[in-house]
Amino acid sequence: MHILFNEPHYTLAGMFATFSAARAGTLSGNGKYTKICQQFFETKYGFRRSLLTSSCTDALEMAAILTEIQPGDEVILPSFTFMSTANAFLLRNAKVVFADTLEGIPNIDPAQIESLVNSRTKAIAVVHYSGIACDMDKVMEIARKHNLLVIEDAAHSLDSYYKGKPLGSIGHFGTFSFHETKNIFCGEGGMLSINDERFMKRAEIIWEKGTNRAAFYRGEIDKYSWVDIGSSFLLSDANAAFLYTQIEQLEKIQKRRTGHWHSYSRQLKPLEEKGYLKLPVIPPFATVNGNMYYIVTASLKERDGLISFLKKNGILAVFHYMPLHSSVYYKDKHDGRELSNTQKFSDCIVRLPFYYHLRSRQIRYIVEKIRQFYL
């Protein structure tokens, strides 16, 4: 058997998406399919405004511009994340301050956030790792108390909830990814959700290269001009049309992906009970959205051993993230605090193959091989 780590879910409708967008009259940004997708997300998840971008990285950069962060201002974020979460703020010349994760869950520890806030702090960026919610009441409470803006990096978190609220709708901003490895995708793609009225108008301007072109196309003004800084953050409507074919299947995709998640969980439970490995912890306020499945091994050595054992058996499992605070780029800039939970997750997490087309018998085979490794 040969099982890939990820296999994108292509459909015939997806293949014809470019054709649909061209026939609708535009392949560039802010066209027919962009509007349909944005409306869908606003209605389904209650975002005040949704803007499609060419990546989650772009959405994070937009959020960083909208926070009006100044050189030297501080942003608190987890070290256990993708580098884009940090890059967005570094590009504004802000200082990023890395917080550790909780001990049992690879999400930022709210107590750490609280301890790192000072008079220079302007924002907090949280990541709902694998779509499992951070304790947002605690995060928002800290933000209110210190007048900080909150960005939810919801790259893993489409269709996941915190106490019934959709992730990405709770902070001032949410950022999503439609990269090939996420629940729904369009090659490269992303979205910024804006949940605070104050930022809605400027967001649209920054999105359109610093112009009020979007308002012009709605007929609100009679010519458009350059009014602010910005960039070309828009998603091509060809990609938006592809994304729409995925949205049409969202329920089916989510049902199947969360099904895979629960299959892994059920079948691996006995190994956890015997103390061999740890499975994801789902707090009572969070939901599972079938973004990925991971296990936590006891050590780096065991992690490497398991990955190579699986590889010998035709199964591609991977690890991530290398902690940002000790990365090549940042290690000399970090203040030296040890982030031991981050290091532990970085050393011990194994992500198992996870994608729409994964078969039940493949999951059984993967679990069987993990069992063989331990027993």
Ligand X SMILES: *Cc1c(COP(=O)(O)O)cnc(C)c1O
Can you give the binding site for ligand X, defined by CB under 6 A? Answer: 55-57, 81-82, 84-85, 127, 153, 155-156, 177, 179, 190
Min separation Cβ 82 and ligand X, Å: 4
In the bound state with ligand X, the residue whose beta carbon lies nearer, of 159 and 271, is 159
Helices 340-348 & 300-312 angle (0-180, nearest 10): 20
In the bound state with ligand X, the residue whose beta carbon lies nearer, of 156 and 202, is 156
Classify each residue of 46-63 as buried b or exposed e, where b means 16 or more C-beta atoms within 10 Å of its C-beta.
Answer: ebebbbbbbbbbbbbbbb
Min separation Cβ 126 and ligand X, Å: 10
In the bound state with ligand X, the residue whose beta carbon lies nearer, of 81 and 183, is 81
In the bound state with ligand X, the residue whose beta carbon lies nearer, of 47 and 82, is 82
Cα–Cα distance measured from residue 271 to residue 370, given in angstroms and rounded to the nearest whole number: 9
Cα–Cα distance measured from residue 293 to residue 262, given in angstroms and rounded to the nearest whole number: 9
Angle ∠(98,103,106) on CA atoms, nearest 5: 60
Helices 32-45 & 237-247 angle (0-180, nearest 10): 40
Q: Which residues contact 119 (CB under 8 A, 6 or more apart)?
A: none
Beta bridge partners of 123: 75, 149
Cα–Cα distance measured from residue 4 to residue 270, given in angstroms and rounded to the nearest whole number: 25
Q: Is 51 helix (H, G, I), strand (E, B) or coil?
A: strand
Min separation Cβ 178 and ligand X, Å: 7
The half-sphere exposure of 316 on its side-chain side, counting CA atoms within 13 A, is 9
Query: Is the dihedral angle over the CA atoms 60, 66, 72, 73 positive or is it negative?
Result: negative
Min separation Cβ 301 and ligand X, Å: 26
Q: What are phi and psi of 7, to 5 degrees?
A: -145, 110
In the bound state with ligand X, the residue whose beta carbon lies nearer, of 89 and 276, is 89
Min separation Cβ 1 and ligand X, Å: 28
Min separation Cβ 52 and ligand X, Å: 11
In the bound state with ligand X, the residue whose beta carbon lies nearer, of 211 and 239, is 239
Min separation Cβ 330 and ligand X, Å: 16
In the bound state with ligand X, the residue whose beta carbon lies nearer, of 82 and 276, is 82
Cα–Cα distance measured from residue 90 to residue 80, given in angstroms and rounded to the nearest whole number: 17
Amino acid 88 reads A
Cα–Cα distance measured from residue 63 to residue 124, given in angstroms and rounded to the nearest whole number: 11
Cα–Cα distance measured from residue 114 to residue 237, given in angstroms and rounded to the nearest whole number: 42
Min separation Cβ 356 and ligand X, Å: 17
Min separation Cβ 287 and ligand X, Å: 18
In the bound state with ligand X, the residue whose beta carbon lies nearer, of 185 and 276, is 185
Other CB atoms within 10 A of residue 322 CB? 12
In the bound state with ligand X, the residue whose beta carbon lies nearer, of 56 and 271, is 56
